[in-house]
Amino acid sequence: MLQLSEIWIYPIKSLGGIKLQQALVTDRGLEHDRRWLLVDENGLFQSQREHPEMALFQTEIEGDFLSVTHRFKEDKIQIPLLQSFSEIEKRIRVTVWDDVIEAYEVSKEANDWFTKMLGLKVRLVYMPEDSHRKVSPKYAITGNEINSFSDGYPFLVIGQASLEDLNSRLTAAVPMNRFRPNFVFTGGKPYEEESWKEIKIGTVSFFGVKPCGRCVVITIDQESGKKSGKDPLLALSKYRKVGNKVLFGQNLLGVQNGSLNVGDEVQVLSSK
């Protein structure tokens, strides 16, 4: 049996994730997943690709707040999870890859805190409910699927067997957090998730749209915030490369909203 073993959200894109026992599936991803984003003065998204030290920011949900701390600096900020914005507050346009997205600046306090902690001039923004970033029409199912600030798709699933197979080829094993999945499952064969067309986790259905192309972020140690060498990207490139993409994991689109729990059965309804 395939079984959901881990659920992860990353409330602020490219910062540390939160491991959950239960999560709500919404129309743009798991609840609170990548609804916040750090951007530069021009509104361009910032990530671990350029700033590996972003991995050092730890996030946690505490009541009605998202708390952010720095692994090596004793400082903390709390951000309301359900923040209401009025039209008089600063709404700006931000850029994530090829998409220009409407977002709100959270607060001057948040901007100043992250700028101080990173040593880099940044602003923290939030994606409101009325900001609809559509998934690439090439991979959309209905054409109406939307996304948060994640790179391209609302959900990413990786099998534990895939990680174990990769680690068997490395001199030093890497943890799953290098790959920033939303869902991890046990059982099955390595990389089988990349062939899934339609699955059900618990009672919630998903479609597999494309295997996930990996980048330099998977070489960043999430504990130290530093690059750890060329692996596992180099190792994956030797046997998981298709065209110019190095693949690991499967991007998913949700079909319906619902609730998921660690321990739910993963059913493969059809494969490609």
Q: Which residue range forms the structural domain that includes residue 63?
A: 2-271
pLDDT at 15: 98
pLDDT at 272: 87
pLDDT over 70, % of the chain: 99
Tell me what the mean pLDDT of segment 19-37 comes to.
97
Amino acid making up residue 126: Y
pLDDT at 216: 97
Q: Is 53 helix (H, G, I), strand (E, B) or coil?
A: helix
Tell me what the mean pLDDT of segment 26-44 comes to.
97
In the structure encoding, which two tokens stand for residue 143, read together?
């054409």
Cβ neighbors of 131 (< 8 A, separation 6 or more) are 101, 102, 103
Number of domains in the chain: 1
- Checking if the pLDDT of 46 tops 70, the result is yes
pLDDT at 87: 57
Q: How far is CA 155 from CA 32, 41, 100, 121, in A?
A: 13, 29, 20, 30
pLDDT at 199: 98
Task: Kindly report, residue by residue over 240-266, the tens digit of the pLDDT.
Answer: 999 999 999 999 999 899 999 999 999
**What is the distance between the alpha carbons of residues 54 and 178, in angstroms, rounded to a whole number?**
13
Q: Name which of 86-95, 104-113, 200-209 the model is least confident about.
A: 86-95
Tell me what the mean pLDDT of segment 121-126 comes to.
97
- Checking if the pLDDT of 89 tops 70, the result is no
pLDDT at 86: 66
In the structure encoding, which two tokens stand for residue 65, read together?
């707040």
Tell me what the mean pLDDT of segment 99-104 comes to.
96
Of 164, 167, 134, 165, nearest to 148 (Cα)?
134
pLDDT over 90, % of the chain: 93
pLDDT at 88: 55
**What is the distance between the alpha carbons of residues 34 and 9, in angstroms, rounded to a whole number?**
7
N residues, the chain: 272
Task: Note the pTM of the prediction, 2 decimals.
Answer: 0.96
